[in-house]
Chain A
């Protein structure tokens, strides 16, 4: 236990450097996944077509074991940044995709009709009606993806990419269990911290009307259990 606490003090510079590297890699992977997944999911959800395709692509990608992708990547395109980034993007992408798609597709058809009746174009309906209403579910996908990515980014070390907490976590001979646990602790804190920050972003982004509607629904007189916070990955 003493060794564990001492590790933070003795190696603070190293830990700070690796933590920063860990965060940057995770954020980069998550951003790439978001940039790819949200437009695709939103567009297909808007069209109300190809849902079969999105669901199946999401399920297949979600099944891919990260270390297997890294291993195949080493054989095909070598060690380094590309290898680990591809693996982490594949980890984060399906969840953001399916959540965005589900959210946009399940926007109340009456609301969409009303928007169309007001003369909005398809693009306006998507950006001003469907996407704002979808923010809570999209953000919940992003938050869960962040937790996955940050907890998995240490595999970078096996993909030959130095400079993440994986340098310590995978090197128990060099740093002892105390070091491994210290690095793991930071990784856990990063997961919760990022989740909390994204939660704040979610609150800021959610349109006021939607927030009010949610409040009424959850605290209203009908004490029906809140509708399944849809097992995001299911």
Chain B
């Protein structure tokens, strides 16, 4: 496997570990500070970078696409195509250009966010209630002002829904990326797949799941924070 460590030496510092134990808590605590904790932090920032860059690109593309139908269908087709590429092949494709690096991983991960973020942003911009747009026109706002001051804020629930899906998607795909550049929680997962050390398999696997679940909760919280009106509306209706 490209980029994975040539020799994998799990750290067996937990003295009380039976060799055939399914899960050894001592190993987990002994390796938390040196291996698991840092991998977890790495995993989070790998995800953040990809989603933030993906969001910037998608917002820009959606704003352009809003008034240009040809660009909307073109970009959507392109993003759909990117989305169907098996992730490992995508990461490997950029290795000759950007090497076994974080950049290679981020190119792949960012590409996978585009479909979800672009589609949701565009749908959000397009489905703003007619009454809101008409009220803005009545107040004399220009089309550009309507786009940025009315449509974009009202598209937030849809955009946040897109962010939610792309965050969990990127967390999942980032584990696979570790087979190309050993970063994040995918590194201990791949190490353990080779050594068949079940404590490490379970620790890294469960931590990745916890990161995904926690991220999901955080995004839902942010969603409520930035779109308080959706809850009020639901309560009154």
The bracket for how many chain A residues form the interface is 35 or more
A147 in the interface (beta carbon within 8 A)? yes
Contact A65 B201 (CB under 8 A): no
CA distance A183 to B81 in the complex (A): 15
Binds B, one of A10-18, A126-134, A206-214, A223-231: A223-231
Indicate with 1 or 0, residue by residue over B127-153, a CB within 8 angstroms of chain A CB atoms: 100100000000000000000000000
CA distance A63 to B185 in the complex (A): 15
B22 in the interface (beta carbon within 8 A)? yes
Indicate with 1 or 0, residue by residue over B107-125, a CB within 8 angstroms of chain A CB atoms: 0000000001001100100
Q: Pick the contact of B216 from A59, A165, A173, A192 — CB < 8 Å?
A: A59
Given contacts A180-B92, A188-B84, contact A71 B213 (CB under 8 A): no
CA distance A192 to B127 in the complex (A): 28
CA distance A16 to B190 in the complex (A): 28
Given contacts A177-B96, A229-B123, contact A71 B204 (CB under 8 A): yes
A68 in the interface (beta carbon within 8 A)? yes
Given contacts A72-B205, A191-B84, contact A228 B192 (CB under 8 A): no
Contact B201 A184 (CB under 8 A): no
Number of A-B contacts (CB under 8 A): 145
Contact A64 B201 (CB under 8 A): no
Contact A67 B212 (CB under 8 A): no
Binds A, one of B11-19, B29-37, B49-57, B157-165: B157-165
Given contacts A68-B206, A75-B198, contact A158 B172 (CB under 8 A): no
B186 in the interface (beta carbon within 8 A)? yes
Contact A74 B201 (CB under 8 A): yes
CA distance A156 to B21 in the complex (A): 25
Contact B205 A180 (CB under 8 A): no
A125 in the interface (beta carbon within 8 A)? no
A66 in the interface (beta carbon within 8 A)? yes
Which residues of B sit under 8 angstroms from A181, Cβ to Cβ?
Answer: 89, 93
A100 in the interface (beta carbon within 8 A)? no
A1 in the interface (beta carbon within 8 A)? no
- Residues 177 to 194 of chain A near chain B (Cβ within 8 Å): 177, 180-181, 183-184, 187-188, 191-192
What residues of chain A have their CB less than 8 Å away from a CB belonging to chain B?
59-60, 62-69, 71-72, 74-76, 147, 150-152, 154-155, 158, 165, 169-170, 172-173, 177, 180-181, 183-184, 187-188, 191-192, 224-225, 227-229, 231, 233-234
